[in-house]
Structure 1
């Protein structure tokens, strides 16, 4: 399937209304493009936390070693929605060069004129991205893939749960963490539950909402405090929603206290794209960075560091890593998400959760 507005992706948080001005970035926002393809700086906006730590170690630092005359200024945000808000605030005076974010949000950036198209002349490694992972209109391609999974306490579940229905099992009432919308995890659970109830979420989610209302009394927390992974590791909860990559990482960090699995009813992809900001202040160096981000070297290193599946066809992974990243060969049961639909439905779904599901 060609990567397009109807490609399977996971949704992220609603778009924040307030503008954000990047701090700590070199260069003058909106100034004429400075530097070259091998010198200057790149202002990068991407995820915070463990993602930032591992991406810096696996990709940014090796890039700096290869291009010592290019400085990377990394500005982190917890969600893609926060990144988009920052870029919207800079639209007339860009301070950012490259953005890595969830596709459902970058698609909105494309339609708003925030990003430039990417071509293989300036970014040669684009040739190694399969057509299904390229944007149909030529904007930022997929740079890595993950999927939403069920995280669980391995002491409580020596064998991984096989169905999402375990969340409704009264035996685990009060020991469940569900990150409600606008979290991408809550939006994903809405779509998955809708499928389980036999309805088309693009036409309505009444059946999903009714089922999720039944789950609500068993949920200890609807927010990631401290987060969905630590809640399980510390014994606060025994079940929750999470992303495969981070679940795999924290499984190693916790001596396998936490596990992550894909239930039989299906899951949703989380697809991150790498995007060139339109009228970026350092466009030449930015293209050099995007090209490196799409290299087999960078993608293999990040897969080993944080278990994200590569998007390029020439990346190779050790067998023990390959079996832990999300398969992209069609073998995983995926609930397709319509990016355009979710962009318009996100606010409504979030409001529905607040009014009808989260009642305590």
Structure 2
């Protein structure tokens, strides 16, 4: 809102209206508008997460940004740069290893620690999001990728065997379903978002730790996009506003206020953030970039297999 106010002050002919809503709510409406009134998108630009961005790539939703209007694209770490400048990555949420600090005195170091015997009966996995279910992270840690059917099959076999051995304590579908068992000491290890662990550990003082695995934390990246169908004038001003949002001054302020991980260089984080594992430069640059379209395409098939081959064996 501060950027919006400053931009309108300097550009008296420009009016910016906020359209509030989650990506899950807004993106389907954007697709519907593209089909019926392609030259009248419901939003001209905005914040979009990795999932919405991948869907937008498939649906040809995004404009190519003009680096003349958005020179801040050059500040983004190379691993987060968008092909053809179709949007700009500004931040991310890290997905790494969340552990119970009362029970685990040495932080875990690998996604393969899910299957370490010392966590037998103390592991919690998502039943629905396969970047949290162990499927994708184990496949990656063993050198495969989510688009490699043989590698995924091998992971399913490992997970099924471990389920039969009693490695998995429970499955969760919500924050509380993983948070409360860890507070009670029933669960010692899971995969989770650094932002939540930050709140639960540092604000609520719960027994939560976060570790970025040696294979990389997963980057749940957040982008700024300009939406196709915008007029040349709308695109021009949207690009200039996006450039302001990604200017070091404003991005530094925003990341410190919201505890967001920046994916641009030379952002001056507050000391309490800079010392957290998820915010360290090596763990940002080394973050795993998932193939989100493949995850979306395979989700129903993997859910069916996961329930039959893994969940069915956990008592």
1:14-34 Cα offsets, whole Å, 9 max, x none, are: xxxxxxxxxxxxxxxxxxxxx
**2:87 equivalent to 1:140:** yes
Q: Distance in 2 between matches of 1:279 and 1:231?
A: 48
SS of structure 1 residue aligned to 2:106: coil
**2:110 equivalent to 1:160:** no
Length-normalised TM-score, structure 1: 0.68
> How do residues 1-360 of structure 1 correspond to structure 2 at under 5 angstroms?
61-67=1-7, 71-77=16-22, 83-91=26-34, 92-93=36-37, 94-103=41-50, 105-168=52-115, 175-182=122-129, 184-186=131-133, 189-197=134-142, 199=144, 201-204=146-149, 205-216=152-163, 218-226=168-176, 228-229=178-179, 232-233=182-183, 237-255=187-205, 257-280=207-230, 283=235, 286-324=238-276, 325-329=278-282, 334-335=287-288, 337-339=290-292, 341-359=294-312
1:276-306 Cα offsets, whole Å, 9 max, x none, are: 1112486555334422321212321233234
Whether the aligned pair in 1 keeps the contact of 2:146 and 2:294 (CA below 8 Å) is no
Shift of 1:311: 2.5
Structure 1 residues 298 and 199, CA gap change in structure 2 (3 angstroms) = same
Q: Distance in 2 between matches of 1:303 and 1:103?
A: 18
Shift of 1:84: 3.5
Shift of 1:231: 5.0
Structure 1 residues 64 and 331, CA gap change in structure 2 (3 angstroms) = closer
Whether the aligned pair in 2 keeps the contact of 1:116 and 1:139 (CA below 8 Å) is yes
Whether the aligned pair in 1 keeps the contact of 2:79 and 2:285 (CA below 8 Å) is no
Shift of 1:142: 0.9
Q: Which has the higher helix share?
A: 2
Across the aligned residues of Structure 1 and Structure 2, the Cα RMSD in angstroms comes to 3.4
Structure 1 residues 116 and 159, CA gap change in structure 2 (3 angstroms) = same
Q: Distance in 2 between matches of 1:320 and 1:160?
A: 19
Structure with max Cα Rg: 2
Shift of 1:337: 3.4
Length-normalised TM-score, structure 2: 0.76
Whether the aligned pair in 2 keeps the contact of 1:151 and 1:229 (CA below 8 Å) is no
Q: Distance in 1 between matches of 2:257 and 2:183?
A: 20
Q: Which runs of 5+ in 2 are unaligned?
A: 10-14
Structure 1 residues 119 and 321, CA gap change in structure 2 (3 angstroms) = same
Shift of 1:113: 1.9
Number of residue pairs the alignment of both structures matches: 296
Structure 1 residues 190 and 99, CA gap change in structure 2 (3 angstroms) = farther
Greater mean alpha carbon deviation, residues 302-311 or residues 135-144: 302-311
Q: Distance in 1 between matches of 2:284 and 2:230?
A: 39
Structure 1 residues 95 and 231, CA gap change in structure 2 (3 angstroms) = farther
1:10-57 Cα offsets, whole Å, 9 max, x none, are: xxxxxxxxxxxxxxxxxxxxxxxxxxxxxxxxxxxxxxxxxxxxxxxx
